[in-house]
C-alpha cells in the first residue's frame, strides 16, 4: 500500500540520511526502482512529473500500475507516489486519482499567492493523510537550450511557507535540473544553513540531484536535506545502456529485438543508478 512521505522523511531528517525520489516514465522505470528499494530495504519516493503523467496516459493509469506492481512484486518497503512540480490543478487531479503525496510548485507566483494556494492544499492533503511538498525560490534548469543559474531562496519566505504546515520544503540553493554546466558555482550551503535554522525540524528537499558531487550531497544531508530528487541520471544511464546494446548489434542476434530483451540493459542500468544513490543518501536498511 502506498504511504505518505511524512513518516519516512521525518525519520530521515532525525537519522541524518535522505530518501531518494526517483522519477518514473513507464513500467520499466517503476519496476527497476521498486525492486531496488525492496532489495536494499530502503524507503523510496516515486516521482511523476505532469509531463510523465500525461505520457503514461493519466494519473489513474499510474496509480493502477504502481499499486498493482507493488502487490505482484510483494513490495513491503514504504513507497510514496508523488506528483513532482505540480500545478494546483495537477495536485487536485492526483489527490483524486490516489497518489499518496503531491508537490505544489508555487515558486513562480508572488509569495502571497504561493502562501494562499499552499494553505488550501495543506488542508486538503491533511484530510486525506497525504504529504505535501512546497517550493520557494525556483530551481533553474535547461529551458529552450539555455541553462539557468540556480536561484537561492529567501530563508524568511521559506519559514513562512514551512509554518503553513507543509510536510517537506524544496528550497533553491543554487541547484538546477538536468546536467550542471562546467562553470556551475556549486550549492549555497550558507543559504541552506540559514533555511534550516529558521525551519527547524522540517525535512528539506534537494532537487536536481543529477551530477551533484558526493561531498556536496553529504554536506547537504548534514544541513537538513532529507529528500533528494533524481531524474536525469536514470535517463542517461538507460539511454547509454540501450545505445550500447544496439551498437553491439544485439538486437539483430536471435530474438534480441524482443522489447523484453531490448529494454533489459537499460532497466539494469537504472537499478545500478538507484542503488548507488540509495547508498550515498544513506537510506539502505532504513525501511
Ligand atoms: P535531475 O533531473 O537534475 O536529477 O532533477 C530531478 C528533480 O529535481 C525532479 O524534480
Q: What is the pLDDT of residue 151?
A: 84
Measured CA to CA, the distance from residue 83 to residue 28 in angstroms comes to 19
Q: Within 10 Å of residue 212's Cβ, how many Cβ atoms? A: 21
CA angle at 253 for the pair 241 and 35, rounded to the nearest 5°: 40
Nearest CA to ligand 1 atom 9: 229
**Sign of the CA dihedral running 37, 6, 238, 251:** positive
CA angle at 34 for the pair 32 and 35, rounded to the nearest 5°: 65
Measured CA to CA, the distance from residue 77 to residue 3 in angstroms comes to 10
pLDDT in tens, the chain (287 residues): 999 999 999 999 999 999 999 999 999 999 999 999 999 999 999 999 999 999 999 999 999 999 999 999 999 999 999 999 999 999 999 999 999 999 999 888 888 999 999 999 999 999 999 999 999 877 766 544 555 567 899 999 999 999 999 999 999 999 999 999 888 889 999 999 999 999 999 999 999 999 999 999 999 999 999 999 999 999 999 999 999 999 999 999 999 999 999 999 999 999 999 999 999 999 999 99
By C-alpha distance, which of 136, 140, 175 is closest to 153? Answer: 136
* Residue 84: active-site member: yes
H-only helix segments in the chain: 6-15, 27-39, 50-55, 59-72, 88-97, 111-128, 155-162, 189-199, 214-222, 232-247, 259-262, 264-281
Task: Report the separation in Å between the CA atom of 253 and the middle of ligand 1, taken as the mean of its atom positions.
Answer: 36
Half-sphere exposure in the Cβ direction for 21 (13 Å, CA): 30
Task: Report the separation in Å between the CA atom of 170 and the middle of ligand 1, taken as the mean of its atom positions.
Answer: 12
CB 142 within 8 A of CB 209: no
* pTM of the predicted structure, to 2 decimals: 0.96
Question: Which domains, and CATH codes, for the chain?
Answer: 6-281 (3.20.20.70)
Q: What is the pLDDT of residue 150?
A: 75
Q: What is the pLDDT of residue 268?
A: 98
DSSP per position, 117-148:
HHHHHHHHHHHHT-EEEEEES--EEEETTEEP
Residue 176 CA: which ligand 1 atom is closest?
A: 3
H-only helix segments in 73-110: 88-97
Ligand 1 pocket, Cβ-based, cut-off 6 angstroms: 23, 47, 84-85, 177-178, 207-210, 229-233
Task: Report the separation in Å between the CA atom of 179 and the middle of ligand 1, taken as the mean of its atom positions.
Answer: 9
Task: Report the separation in Å between the CA atom of 121 and the middle of ligand 1, taken as the mean of its atom positions.
Answer: 23
Q: What is the pLDDT of residue 137?
A: 78
Cell 525535512 maps to which residue?
Answer: 203
Catalytic residue among 84, 144, 193, 215: 84
Cell 518497503 maps to which residue?
Answer: 77
Amino acid at each position: 500500500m502506498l504511504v505518505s512521505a511524512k513518516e519516512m522523511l521525518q525519520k530521515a531528517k532525525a537519522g541524518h540520511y535522505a530518501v531518494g525520489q526517483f522519477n518514473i516514465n513507464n513500467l520499466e522505470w517503476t519496476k527497476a526502482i521498486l525492486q531496488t528499494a525492496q532489495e536494499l530495504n530502503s524507503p523510496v519516493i516515486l516521482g511523476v512529473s505532469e509531463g510523465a503523467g500525461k505520457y503514461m496516459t493519466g494519473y489513474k493509469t499510474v496509480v493502477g500500475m504502481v499499486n498493482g506492481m507493488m502487490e505482484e512484486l510483494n513490495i513491503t518497503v514504504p513507497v510514496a507516489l508523488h506528483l513532482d512540480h505540480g500545478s494546483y490543478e495537477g495536485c487536485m487531479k492526483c489527490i483524486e486519482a490516489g497518489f499518496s503525496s503531491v508537490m505544489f510548485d508555487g515558486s513562480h507566483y508572488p509569495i502571497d499567492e504561493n502562501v494562499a494556494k499552499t494553505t488550501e492544499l495543506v488542508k486538503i492533503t491533511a484530510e486525506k493523510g497525504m504529504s505535501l511538498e512546497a517550493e520557494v525560490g525556483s530551481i533553474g534548469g535547461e529551458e529552450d537550450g539555455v541553462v539557468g543559474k540556480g536561484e537561492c531562496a529567501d530563508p524568511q519566505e521559506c519559514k513562512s511557507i514551512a509554518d503553513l504546515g507543509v510536510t517537506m520544503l524544496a528550497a533553491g540553493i543554487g541547484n538546477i535540473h538536468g546536467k550542471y554546466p562546467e562553470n556551475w558555482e556549486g550549492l549555497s550551503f550558507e543559504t541552506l544553513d540559514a533555511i534550516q535554522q529558521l525551519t527547524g525540524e522540517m525535512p528539506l528537499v534537494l532537487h536536481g540531484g543529477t551530477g551533484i558531487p558526493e561531498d556536496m550531497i553529504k554536506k547537504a544531508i548534514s544541513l537538513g536535506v532529507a529528500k533528494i530528487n533524481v531524474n536525469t541520471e536514470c535517463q542517461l544511464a538507460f539511454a547509454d545502456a540501450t545505445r550500447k546494446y544496439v551498437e553491439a548489434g544485439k538486437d539483430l542476434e536471435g530474438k534480441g529485438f524482443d522489447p523484453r530483451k531490448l529494454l533489459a540493459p537499460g532497466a539494469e542500468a537504472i537499478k545500478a543508478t538507484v542503488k548507488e544513490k540509495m547508498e550515498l543518501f544513506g537510506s539502505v536498511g532504513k525501511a
